[in-house]
Each structure stands twice: as C-alpha cells, then as structure tokens.
Amino acid sequence: MSIIAFVLIAISALLHAAWNLIAKKSKMTLPFYTVIATICALMWLHVQFWTPVLVLHLPHPFWMYLSGSVVSELLCCFGIIYAYRTMEMSTVYPMMRSLPLLLTTLLTAILGWGKPLTPLTICGITIVFCGCVIIPLMKFSDFSIKSYIHRHFVFIIIVALGTTSFTIFDSQCQAILREAYPDMSKPTVALTYYSTRTLFLALSLWLLIL
C-alpha cells in the first residue's frame, strides 16, 4: 500500500468516526441524516458537469445495483438511528464496523468475486474484528456474550447488513462504469459514481420525510 493510500484511509476512518460521534451527540433523526446527505450531494454535484459519463444512458443493471445501494443505505440509516438511541456508542460503533468486514468477506468469497483470500489476509481480518469487539471492554474479564447479544442487537445487525449490501452494490456499479468507459481513470469513475449515488440518496431521503 502506498503512503498516499494509507493517509487517505486514515483520514477516511477519522472522518467516519467523527460523523458517528456527531450523529450520537445530536440524537440522530431521519431529517438530520437527510440534511447531511443533501450537503454531500451538493458538494459532489459539480462532478456531473464535467464527467464524460452520460449517466442517464447507463445500462439497466447499473440502475438496479444503484437502487440496491440506496435502499441498503436507507436500511443502514434506520439501523444507526435506533442503535444510537438504545445503546452506547462505545459498543455500537465497533460492532457496526467489524460485522460488515466479516459479512463482505464471506459473501464475496462465496460469490467468487475478487482475488482468493490468503492466510495472511484472513489473519488480518480476524485481528481487526477481534479488536473491534474488545474495544468497549475496560478489561478482558468484562467480556460477556450478553453484552453483545440482546434485543437491541438487531439494530446493529440491520446496520451491518445494510453496509455489506451497499458495499457490494457500489462495487458492481463501478465495475459497470469501468466496462462502459474503459479509458476513464479510476478516480473519475469513483467520483462520477459517488456523485450520482449521493444525489439519488438525498432525493430518496427527501421523498421519505416529505
């Protein structure tokens, strides 16, 4: 991994944690999430004016996967709202981040997508998952299954399923874009897709709250 990639991933992780902290502190609601999504959509709107992609002319599979991604994001949103209302962030956030890691790995392996997992990769995933699980603990002796498996845990499962789903759908959408525009750079593909996705997500959220 290059230094630039590492820095970008680190910044992304910090921003994601900060966003979840704000969501917890502000008693996250659907209108609040809609405002955030709208701000993101406006920030990325400029991409639609210079990208070479004719978005409206993309094949039907793209729109099917995009719809799946947006629905999965909405599912994730509802899960986050109720998870933060009923549980502590120190428990919710690590579990929400670790479960999709395992689910995405499992599903992509079953579907045969990507490169085969090496023992080192599996070891790394296991270490990250275990680290996320023990973060909420003051000491190892505090570990108890009951701390994680209870009636509110269903909201974490909803978030995990939503995150896993939109991760896979997003990957498929970008694969279609790369196939349709093979000469386009990967950054342009990513920017075009996420600009399009945030627009449709914000629109969907407004339709839900109006």
Question: What are the pLDDT digits (tens) for 20-64?
Answer: 666 656 567 888 889 989 999 999 999 999 999 999 999 999 999
**pLDDT of res. 96:** 80
- Tokens describing residue 73: 């994001």
Alpha-carbon span 172 to 110, nearest angstrom: 16
**pLDDT of res. 2:** 63
| Residue whose token pair is 């428990």 | 91
Condensed to tens digits (0 to 9), the pLDDT of residues 75-106 reads 998 998 888 888 777 777 777 877 888 888 88
**pLDDT of res. 36:** 87
Is the confidence at residue 5, as pLDDT, over 90? no
pTM: 0.82
Largest CA distance in the chain: 58
